[in-house]
Amino acid sequence: MKPAWDKLMKEYKGHASILVGDVDCTAGGKDLCEKMGVQGFPSIKHGDPNNLEDYEGGRDEKALSAFAKENLGPTCGPANLDLCDADKKAQIEKFMAMSEAELKAAVQAKDDEMKEAETTLEKLLKSLQAQYEEATKNKDATKAEIKASGLGLMKAVSAHKKSAKSEL
User: Which band of pLDDT confidence, cut at 50, 70 and 90, is reported for residue 168?
Assistant: low
3-state helix, strand, coil in the chain (%, to 5): 65, 0, 35
What does the pLDDT read at residue 11?
A: 81
- Averaged pLDDT for residues 71-82: 86
Q: CB within 8 A of 26, min separation 6: which ones? A: 41
For residue 18, the SS3 value is: coil
Per-residue pLDDT of 23-73, as tens digits, reads: 888 888 888 888 888 887 888 888 877 788 888 888 888 888 888 888 888
- Judge whether 20 and 12 are in contact, CB under 8 Å: yes
* Average pLDDT across the chain, whole number: 89
What does the pLDDT read at residue 42?
A: 83
- For residue 42, whether the previous peptide bond is cis, meaning omega lies within 30 degrees of 0, is yes
Distance in angstroms (rounded) separating the CA atoms of residues 109 and 105? 6
Whole-number percent of the chain with pLDDT over 90 = 48
Element (H, E) at 53: strand 53-54
Per-residue pLDDT of 95-104, as tens digits, reads: 999 999 999 9
Whether the pLDDT of residue 143 is over 90: the answer is yes
Q: Is the pTM of this model over 0.85?
A: no
Whether the pLDDT of residue 6 is over 80: the answer is yes
State which fold the 2-74 domain adopts: Glutaredoxin (3.40.30)
Distance in angstroms (rounded) separating the CA atoms of residues 107 and 13? 33
- Averaged pLDDT for residues 133-159: 95
- Judge whether 74 and 83 are in contact, CB under 8 Å: yes
